[in-house]
Every structure is written in C-alpha cells, then in structure tokens.
Amino acid sequence: MKFPSTLLFLCSCATAQGDDRGAPPITAETLRAHVRFLSSDLLEGRGVGTRGDALARTYLATQMQSFGLQPGLGADWEQPVPILGITSTVTAPLAARGKDGEATFTAPDDYTAVAGSPATEVAWQDAELVFVGYGITAPEQQWDDFGGADLRGKVLLVMNNDPATDPARFAGKARLYYGRWSYKFEEAARRGARGAIVIHTNESAGYPFQVIQASHGRENFWLPFAGEPVLDARLWCSEDAARRLCRLGGHDLDALRQRAELGNQPPVPLGVTLGLGLRNERRELQSANVLGVLPGSDPTLRDQHVVVTAHFDHLGIGAKRSGDAIYNGAVDNASGCAGLLALAQACTRLQPAPRRSILFLAVTAEESGLLGSQYFCANPTVPVARIAANFNVDGLNVWGRTTDLEFIGYGKNSLTALAEAVAAELGRTIAADSDPNLGLFYRSDHFNFARVGVPAAYFKGGREFVDRPEDRRRMKASYTSVHYHQPSDELADWWKLDGAVADLELLFACLRRCADADAPPTWTPGDEFEARR
C-alpha cells in the first residue's frame, strides 16, 4: 500500500539522515540487565503507588541521568500523577431473577465487579437488565445500538468488540475504539445506565477469562473524577454466565447476538432483574511519570519533540497462582522499559544530537487504563502542537529474530512509510497487524497521543522467525494464553533477545530519522485522528 501524502515526509527523512550503520550498539546483555532489576521480586510487581513503583521510578530516572539526559520537568525527573485507588468487595453476590427462574453467580468464576464511580457503596435491587448488542452509537458508520431508548437506571449487557462482517463499516476486522471495553463502559455511563456487563469471549477479548479474573478484588485506579458521567459498577461476565442470564428471561444469547449483527437494532429488555452489593474502599495516592529530554541540535526544530513512551507499572501483588503472588511483568513491561532506556542511551551517544528534541517518557498506570499517558496528554510538559510523533514500546520480542516486524496501526500515518523504508534497508519487512480484531492500537499508551492528534507508532514482534519458526511461534502464542498478566511473566534463561535487539535497531533508525526530518509526520487523509491534529 502506498501513502501519497507521506512523500514529503519520507523524502525529508532520506535527505536528513540516510545512513544508520554507525549507530551505537544496543546489546542483549544491557536489555537483560534492565529487565532483571525491574522485574525482580524486590519491586513486588511495580503496583501503582507502591514501594516497587517508587523504586522503578528511581531506577529509570537514575539511568536517564547517567546517560546525560536532562530532567523533563524543569529540574525534576518526575511529573506527579494524582491517582484515586478503589478496592471493591462484593457484599452481596450478583443475583438474577426472571420468568424462567432465579440464579446466583459467583465471583470471580462467573463475573468480576469493580467500582465505576467514587461512591462508597453500591446496592442494586431489582435493577433491570437490557441487552444492547455492541453498545455502539456511531453516526459516521450508520450504526446505532440504542435507538433512542431510555436506559437511565438500567444495567446494560453488552458484547465486546465491534461489528466485523461488513468491510465498509468499522474497518472490517480491524477493531476501532468502538470495540474496546473501555468505550462500552463510557457509552453506558453517557446513557445514564447504572452499570454495564461486558460479555467475555476469548475471540473478542484476545485473552482468556483468567486475565479478567486476575483484576477481581484488586485495587483499581482512576485519575480524579471531574464531573464526567459514571456507572455504579463495571462488570465482566463469562460467556456461560451471559447465556444463563439471558435464559432466565426466556432469551437465547446466540439469537440476540445474531440479531445485533444486523445493525441498528433497538435494545432488548431481557425481563431479568439484578441484585448486587459492593463496598468500595477509597484512597488517594501518588505515582509519577518519569521524563528525560535529549535537547535537539537544530535551533529551528529543537522546540519540537519526538516522544518515546514505555509504561513501567504492572499488577503488583495479587492472587496466588502456583504459589506465587508477585506479578513481575517481565515482558509486560519491564522489557519495554529496557528498550526505552537502550534507545535513550543510544541517542545520547549521537554526534551531533538529532535536530528535534527527544523526550523519553516512562509512564505510570498503563495497566489501570492508560492513566499515566492520559494525564501527560492532558497536562503536557511541552505543548501538544510541538509533539511531532510518538513511538511506544510495550513488550519486546524475547523469542528470537524475525524477518518481519508488525506495525500496529499500519497505514494510519506516514510513520508507516518511514518504517517500511528503514526495514527495507535492513533487509526486513514491515507487516500489518496480524490480529487486527484485537484492537491493539487502542490498548497501549500511544493511543492517548493519537487522541490529541499526535501521529503514533507501536511495533510488535514479528511472526517470521529465522530459527525454528513453528516452535517459536508456539512459544510466543503461549505467552498470551498462559503467562500474560500472570505471576509467571518472569525473566527466564531461555529468552532469546537477539530479536529484541534487531527490533530496537529498526526502531532506533526510525526515531533518529523522524527527529532529523525536515517535515513532521502526518496522518493518512481520512484517518479517524486526522482532524485532531
């Protein structure tokens, strides 16, 4: 695919920096050392607002300072991020009653429930349950699952993902933000609902129900509420639990979902009422983003910044799995932080420095809803108009070298063409997202930059392994199905980091050329974020 609007940007990249062969080396040993510390039990899973959070921030700032970066906020290396922590305890289990019987559901086997507002108590009694299909209103897609229905005070049962049967709508199988669970809860709140229950399936979520279960009973985090619409509670349920809920009212879940696929179908009152009790314990805590800046060398362009992000938080200490309660988050995202630090060190060794300034930003609370990057984009340390691009690092390739590298959001902006040009010089290829239905573009910190109009790039490890390709593809797939958001996400001797090194070398070349280009990146005409620039 060609992107004509990228021609000026690509040409300016080529003239500004055409040879990266003299780039400072990034080594597997350096990456492993950073991961070893950041994912160690000492940091206790880097939970938000914990001792491990503070230790991680100190380590990151100290490393940035040792490379020669400057503090990113005046004399400070940290941007404080105020966070509200809410721990929800089920005081009365989810119970349902309909014309065909009654049922009580068990958490977290059947469902999970967390606060949707700062209220201290939630008490549902005879709350009406309504099926709303995908829970989407999208006028530009000629799609409305609500049809003007009054849903105030109701609880919405909603499908995950977005419609994928029509390639002319919702980008076909490539999930848009409409398909994200966060959108479902936000839209339900805008409709005045009391709560929403998202139906989990492995296909629509991209991960097993155990990932959802891991968050039940844990402290969840929010930026301070500022008057936006809220829900009493946010729930997920298993597919089996959703079937049982529908059957209580005489409805078949599969039939309801088939009907929803037609589009513009009105909500279906299920004839089911719900009861639920939650007690929410609240506390105010502080975390922070860590910022280091490499000033640009061009007097005209140095006020523009290219931002490199990686989140340093993980899930902290939680429910024991196989006797281990520390969720170390080695791949997710100690490895990404290791990549950010390696890129920072490599950039500081360039002579001269890149023309634009580069801001290395390690953000907090990504696992809690991208809160750190959301806070930064709402309170940027440099004006958003002066942020030329964002490169996000979330999970390195620890399974071995590949000939390809996946570009999440392929074709959305001119960074795609830049990456393809760099990859070709390195004898590699850039591939579109192999799982577009997962909506990965909306699931990490680059999304918040896109929302404010900044062209963003997020690379994900490729699939065409050089060595033992079938074995390595199986190992990579097992990470999501077995280790993702589990205590077993730990540094292992078998990690094959030559793939991470090769990927970072490609990212380094893209970063360097973007920072040196005459013209900044642009969104592809017609992209959903183009108008926000």
From 509, 513, 499, 511, select the one nearest 31 (Cα to Cα).
499
Which of 56-70, 161-175, 235-249 has the lowest average pLDDT? 161-175
Strand ranges (DSSP E) for 167-229? 195-199, 219-222
Confidence of residue 17 (pLDDT cuts 50, 70, 90): very low
Q: Which residues make beta-bridge pairs with 110?
A: none
pLDDT (0 to 100) of residue 2: 39
Give the Cα separation of 526 and 263 in Å (integer): 23
pLDDT (0 to 100) of residue 89: 97
Confidence of residue 11 (pLDDT cuts 50, 70, 90): very low
Judging by DSSP bridges, how do beta strands 155-159 and 121-131 pair with one another?
Answer: parallel
| Largest Cα–Cα separation, the chain | 75
Average confidence (pLDDT) over 58-69:
98
pLDDT (0 to 100) of residue 18: 44
Confidence of residue 170 (pLDDT cuts 50, 70, 90): confident
For residue 355, give every residue at least 6 positions away whose Cβ sits within 8 Å of its Cβ, in sequence order, or none: 16, 296, 297, 298, 301, 302, 515, 516
Architecture per CATH, domain 85-282, reads as 3-Layer(bba) Sandwich (3.50)
Sign (positive or negative) of CA dihedral 438, 369, 34, 514? positive
Report residue 171 as tokens.
């980008």
**pTM score:** 0.86
The per-residue pLDDT for range 430-469, each reduced to its tens digit, is 999 988 878 889 999 999 999 999 999 999 999 999 999 9
User: What are the domain boundaries of the chain?
Assistant: 4-47+295-532, 85-282
Confidence of residue 245 (pLDDT cuts 50, 70, 90): very high
pLDDT (0 to 100) of residue 23: 61
Average confidence (pLDDT) over 367-381:
96
Confidence of residue 13 (pLDDT cuts 50, 70, 90): low
Give me the residue label for tokens 């609500």: 146
Of residues 480 and 285, more confidently modeled: 285
Contact 318, 219 (CB under 8 A): no
Residue 119: count other Cβ atoms within 10 Å of its Cβ.
16
Architecture per CATH, domain 4-47+295-532, reads as 3-Layer(aba) Sandwich (3.40)
